[in-house]
Chains A and B, each alone.
Chain A
Amino acid sequence: MTGPSGAGKTTLLRLIFGTEKPTGGHILIDSINLNRVRRPKLDLLRRRVGFIFQDFKLLSSKTVFENVSLALEVTGARSNFIRKKTHQTLRLVGLEEKEKAYPLSLSGGEQQRVAIARAIVKDPSILLADEPTGNLDPGLTEDIMILFRSIHMKGTTVIIATHSQNLLRNTAQRTILLKRGRIAGER
C-alpha cells in the first residue's frame, strides 16, 4: 500500500487493527465486524493481528527479549514455549546476540527489527506494517522483505504501508495506491 503523506495509509492500518473506528462503512476480519465487536473480543482479535508501528512502540524498561515475549505472555502461553519461540524469532530477525540489551541502546534499524519480531512471534493471521523498512539499509531491507514473503507463504496476510519506490519495484505482490483516503490505482 503506497501513497503520498496524508493519503490515509496509517489510518487504514489503524482501522484494520481496531485502534480507530470508521465513520462510515464496515471492516470485516474473518467475518467479524469490527464496528460491532466488544472490547474483550477485540483484545483477543488483536492477538491474531501483528502490527509493526512506525515509531516501534517498544518498552524502554524491558529488554529486547522481554519486549518480544510480551506478545506471547498476554496469551497465557507456557513459559517454555514463550522462551523457545522468542529465541527462534530473534534469530530470524538477526538479533539473537542482543536479547539482553535495552531498546535505547540499539540503533534505529535494530529497534525496528525488535518491533518486527514482536509482531511476528505470535504467528499472526494478519501482519500490518507501517513503514517497516524506513530505518533499514538496503541489505537489511531485502532480508526483511524475504522474511515477510516467507511469513506470507505460510498463509499470513501481510499489508505493508510504504513510501519506498525501491520496495515497490521489487515486489510482485498486489500494490494499492491511496490518495486522500481513496484507492487511486492498483497493480
Chain B
Amino acid sequence: MRLKFWPYFFRQALININNNRIVHFISLGTMVVSILIFSIFLLMFVNINMWIEGWGHSLSMSVYLQDGIEKEDHEKIAFHIRSLQGAEIKHFISKKQAFKDLKDALGPEAGFLKILSKNPLPASFEVVFKNVGGLRSDSQKIKKELENIDGVEEVQYSEEWLKRFEGLMNMIRIVGVIVGGLLFIGILFIIINTIKLTIYSRKEEIEILKLVGATDWFVRIPFLLEGVIQGISSGILAIISLFSVYLFLSTKKMHFLGLGVLEFVFIPCDYTLSIFLISIGLGLGGSFIAVRRFFEI
C-alpha cells in the first residue's frame, strides 16, 4: 500500500472511532472486561503456583540424637547440619524439653508418665531446608547425609506429604493450563464477535467504498488501525485494572491451604507485556476476520 495513503488511513480510523463512539465504547468495555478476567486468572495462577512452590521448597526434618552424648557433641552435630546446603536449624529440643512438650500435649492423661524410671525421649534438632524443590530423591539424599553424622540416631520427615505435594503441584499446573486455555478460547470468541458486530454496523460503508473502486486493502486498513487502537486501549485499561485488583488484594491478609499470611505478587513483566500484545493481536485479528466477510461485493 502506497505511503501517501497512510495519513488518510489514520485520519479515517480516528474519524470512524469518533463517529461510532458508542459502538466503540461498548466494544472496548467488552474487550477490557474479557482481558481482565483472563489477567486475574493469570494473577491468581502465578501467586498460587508461587505459594505452593515456596511451601514445597522448605523441607522440614527432625534429627534425633543418640542418648548419652555430650553437650560439645551437640555443637559438632549442629555445625555439621549447618554445613549442608540450604539447612537452617529452627530449634534444638533437649531431652528435658521433649518430655515437657509430651507432658503438655497429654494434659490430664500425663499422669502415667510418672511410672517411667527415666526420660526415654531423645534430644533433637528441627531442621528446615530451603529450595529443596520438593523432590523425593533430594529428600532421601539429605536424610542419608544427616544419618551419617556421628551422634545422630535417626532422621524423620514425611515422605507421604512430599508425594502428595508433588501430585498437588502437577494437578494445579494441569488444571491451570486447561482452565486458562478454555478461558482464553472463550475470550477470543467474545472479542472477535464483538468486533464483528462493530464492523457489521458499518457494512454499508464498506459496500459503498467497494462500489467506488476502493481496493480490499484500502477498505481494510482503517478498520485494522481501529482494531489496533482498540487493542492498545483495552490492553492498557485491563493492565491498569489488574494492577488495581492487585493493590486491593495485596492489602488483604491472604491465607491459602492453612498456611500463614501469604505475600501477594504482581504478574511478571513478560506476562504483562504478553497481555498487552495479546490485546493488540485480538483487536487486529478480530478486525481482520470481521471485515473479510464483507468483501464479496
Interface residues of A (CB under 8 A from B): 17, 19, 39-40, 43-47, 51, 53, 57-59, 61, 70-71, 73-76, 118, 122
Task: Report 13 cross-chain contacts, Cβ distance below 8 Å, ordered by A residue.
Answer: A39-B216, A39-B295, A40-B215, A43-B216, A44-B215, A57-B211, A59-B204, A61-B19, A70-B212, A71-B213, A73-B8, A74-B209, A74-B218
Alpha-carbon separation in the docked complex, A19 to B210 (Å): 10
Are A71 and B204 in contact, with the CB atoms below 8 A?
A: no
Alpha-carbon separation in the docked complex, A129 to B208 (Å): 16
With A59-B204, A76-B2 as known contacts, state yes or no: A43 contacts B215, CB within 8 Å. Answer: yes
Closest to B208 in A: A57
For residue A73, which residues in chain B have a CB less than 8 angstroms away from its CB?
8
B202 to chain A, nearest CB (A): 9
Inter-chain contact count A-B, CB under 8 Å? 50
Are B213 and A43 in contact, with the CB atoms below 8 A?
A: yes
Are B213 and A75 in contact, with the CB atoms below 8 A?
A: yes
Count contacts on B: residues with CB < 8 A to the other chain. Answer: 20
For residue A118, which residues in chain B have a CB less than 8 angstroms away from its CB?
212
Closest to A78 in B: B4
Majority-rule SS of B interface residues = helix
Q: Does B185 contact A (CB under 8 A)?
A: no
For residue B8, which residues in chain A have a CB less than 8 angstroms away from its CB?
73
Are A74 and B212 in contact, with the CB atoms below 8 A?
A: yes
B5, B19, B215, B216 — most chain A CB neighbours (10 Å)? B215
With A59-B205, A59-B208 as known contacts, state yes or no: A74 contacts B213, CB within 8 Å. Answer: yes
For residue A39, which residues in chain B have a CB less than 8 angstroms away from its CB?
216, 295
Are B211 and A51 in contact, with the CB atoms below 8 A?
A: yes
Are B211 and A76 in contact, with the CB atoms below 8 A?
A: no
Alpha-carbon separation in the docked complex, A164 to B216 (Å): 37
For residue B208, which residues in chain A have a CB less than 8 angstroms away from its CB?
57-59, 70
Interface residues of B in 1-22 (CB under 8 A from A): 2, 4-5, 8, 19
Q: Does B297 contact A (CB under 8 A)?
A: yes
B4, B205, B211, B212 — most chain A CB neighbours (10 Å)? B212
Assuming A44-B213, A46-B211, A61-B205, what are 7 further A-B pairs, CB within 8 angstroms? A17-B211, A57-B204, A59-B204, A59-B205, A70-B208, A71-B212, A75-B213
Are B204 and A47 in contact, with the CB atoms below 8 A?
A: no
Q: Does B207 contact A (CB under 8 A)?
A: yes
A23 to chain B, nearest CB (A): 17
Q: Does B26 contact A (CB under 8 A)?
A: no
For residue B212, which residues in chain A have a CB less than 8 angstroms away from its CB?
46-47, 70-71, 74, 118
Q: Which 8 A-B pairs have the closest CB atoms?
A: A47-B213, A46-B213, A74-B214, A71-B212, A43-B215, A61-B19, A57-B208, A74-B213
Interface residues of B in 149-187 (CB under 8 A from A): none
Closest to A119 in B: B212
For residue A51, which residues in chain B have a CB less than 8 angstroms away from its CB?
211
